[in-house]
Amino acid sequence: MRKMNFIGGRLQYAFLITAIALMAGLFLLPQVSYAQAQFLHKMDGKPLAKDFELPDLDGNKVKLSDFKGKVVLVNFWATWCPPCRAEIPSMQRAWNILKDKDVMLLAIHVGGNEDRVWTFLTDFGVEFPVLLDASSKVSRAWPMMGLPVSFVIDPEGRIALQAIGGREWDDEKMIAQILALKK
Amino acid sequence: MILKSLLVFLLSFAWVISSATGQEEPDFRKYSGNGLRLEIAPLGQDQVQAFFIGRDFSASDARFIAETGCIFRSAIGNAGKNADDPKVTVQLGKWQVTSGDKIRGVLTREKWAEIWVKRKVEESPKIAFHWSLFPTLQNYSPSDYNWGLISFALPAGTKFDLQLTWLLDGIEQKHTLKGLECGK
C-alpha cells in the first residue's frame, strides 16, 4: 500500500474534500437493520470466472488469472454503499485468517475517486488488496446486479460460491465453506 | 468545487443535526411474507441532493433527482434462513405505484439511464447512479439481499400505495404497502 503524504496544499485540500464527501456518504444513507443467516450459496453451473486486469491503489495491474490454482474471494463494493461498509471490518478479520491459508481476497471498488477510497480504507484499517473498477466495465461483465456481492473462485478458476448482500465474513461456517474449496 | 463541497457539507450537517435532535425516520416500513423480506424508507430532498452531489453529480442534476425522483432507500431479499429454502425473484419492473387514480411503474435504473443521456450527465455520476439504484431484476437465494435506492417518480410529499410483485420458487406473489409518502 502506498504511504500517505499530508504535505502539500493540494493534497490537504483533496483530503478535506474527500473527508467531507465521505462524511456525507456515511451520514446520509443510514445502515439498514437487515440481518440474515451467514452462509454462501453454491453457484449454479459453476461458470468460469471472467478474467480481469485492474489497478490497485498503487497503480499496479492485478489479473485474476494470476491467482489460478488458488481459492480467491472476489468482493465488489463501494464506499457509499451502507452494507458494503458494514462488512468491511469482518472482511479484514477474515483476511487475517485466510491470508495464512493461501486464500486470496480481492476487493473491487466499483466507480471512481481513488482518494475517497484511500481515505475510507485508512479509516477502516484495511490491509487486503483493493482494486479499482473506475469505469465499472468489469462489474458489468460479471454476473452481478447490485452491491455488495461476493464470489468465491475455486482453484480451477470457476465461480463456486456466491453471496448477494453483506455478510459477516469471519463467521466460522463461511470460513469453512471457503477453505473447503482448496485442493 | 469549493462551493459544491460546502453544499454537501451543509446538507449533511443539517441532516445530522435533525437526527441528533431525536426526529425519528418517517415512514420506515418492514414487510416479511411469502419468502420476501423488505425494509423501505423515504429519503428527504436534502439527503438525496447531498448524496448525489457526493457522487459527482452537478448541483442542478442532484436537485432534479431530489425534486422528481421520490427516492426511498431499501433492503430487499430472501427471508429464508435455511440453504434449501426456495429462491425469490424480485421484479421491480412489475411493481405498481398508485397515487390518486393514476397507476405507474417504478422509475428503474434503465429508465433513469435514458434521462441521463438526455441531460448529458458525465460517466462517473452515471456509474454511481446505476449501482446506487436497486436492481430491476434479481434472484435471491436464502439469506441474500440487495441494498439500493428506489425511485417512484412522484413529487415531494405525494402519498401512494405500492404493489410489490415477486416470485417465490417461480410462483408470483403480491403484497401492497399502503399510504407511503415521498420525502420532503
> Minimal Cα distance from B129: which residue of A?
A111
Q: Is residue A183's pLDDT more than 70?
A: yes
**Cell, residue A128:** 487486503
Predicted local distance difference test score (pLDDT) of residue B36:
97
Contact A113 B8 (CB under 8 A): no
State which residues form the domain around B150.
Answer: 2-15+28-181
User: pLDDT confidence of A31, banded at 50, 70, 90?
Assistant: low
Contact between residue B130 and residue A136 where contact means Cβ atoms under 8 Å apart: yes
Q: How far apart (Å, rounded) are the C-alpha atoms in residues A105 and B104?
A: 43
Domain presence at residue B22: no
B94 lies in some domain? yes
Q: Answer yes or no: is pLDDT of A19 > 60.
A: no
Residue B23 lies in a domain: no
Q: How confident is the model at residue A114 (pLDDT cuts 50, 70, 90)?
A: confident
Task: Give the number of domains in chain B.
Answer: 1
Distance CA B93, CA B109 (A): 10
The per-residue pLDDT for B26 is 59
Q: How confident is the model at residue A16 (pLDDT cuts 50, 70, 90)?
A: very low
Q: Which of B13, B28, B126, B145 to mutate: most A Cβ within 10 Å?
A: B145
This complex has an ipTM of: 0.85
Residue B177, pLDDT > 60, answer yes
CA A130 – CA A132 distance, rounded (Å): 7
pLDDT at A115: 85
What is the rounded average pLDDT of the residues A103-126? 92
pLDDT surpassing 90 at residue B1? no
Three-class DSSP category at A93: helix
Task: Give the lowest-confidence range in A54-68, A70-84, B4-18, B24-38.
Answer: B4-18
Q: What is the mean pLDDT of chain B?
A: 89
> Does position A4 have pLDDT exceeding 50, yes or no?
no
Q: What is the pLDDT of residue A61?
A: 97
What span, in angstroms and rounded, lies between the C-alpha atoms of A40 and A117? 26
pLDDT at residue A49 is higher than 80: yes
CA A43 to mean position of chain CA atoms: 19
- Any domain includes B71: yes
pLDDT of amino acid B28: 86
Of the candidates A16, A28, A34, the beta carbon closest to that of B12 is on: A28
Residue B60 lies in a domain: yes
- 3-class DSSP assignment, residue A176: helix
For residue A97 the three cell numbers come to: 485468517
The answer to whether residue B22 scores a pLDDT higher than 60 is no
B101 pLDDT above the threshold of 60: yes
Do A115 and A31 form a contact (C-beta atoms < 8 A)? no
Q: What is the pLDDT of residue A8?
A: 41
Write down the pLDDT at residue B4.
Answer: 54
Which domains are delineated in chain A?
Answer: 9-30+38-179 (3.40.30.10)
In a domain, B21, yes or no: no
Going by pLDDT thresholds of 50, 70 and 90, the confidence category of residue B60 is very high
Tell me whether B129 touches chain A (CB under 8 Å). no
User: Residue A112 has what pLDDT?
Assistant: 81
What pLDDT is attached to residue A92?
97
Residue located via cell numbers 466495465: A137
The per-residue pLDDT of chain A, averaged, comes to 85
pLDDT at B18 over 90: no
Cβ-based interface (< 8 Å): residues of A facing B = 16-17, 20-21, 23-25, 27-30, 32-34, 36-39, 41, 78, 80-83, 110-113, 134-136, 139, 145-147, 162-166
Q: How far apart are CA A44 and CA A41, in angstroms?
A: 9
Mean pLDDT of B100-127: 96
Residue A117 has pLDDT above 80, yes or no: yes
In this model, does residue A22 exceed pLDDT 60?
A: no
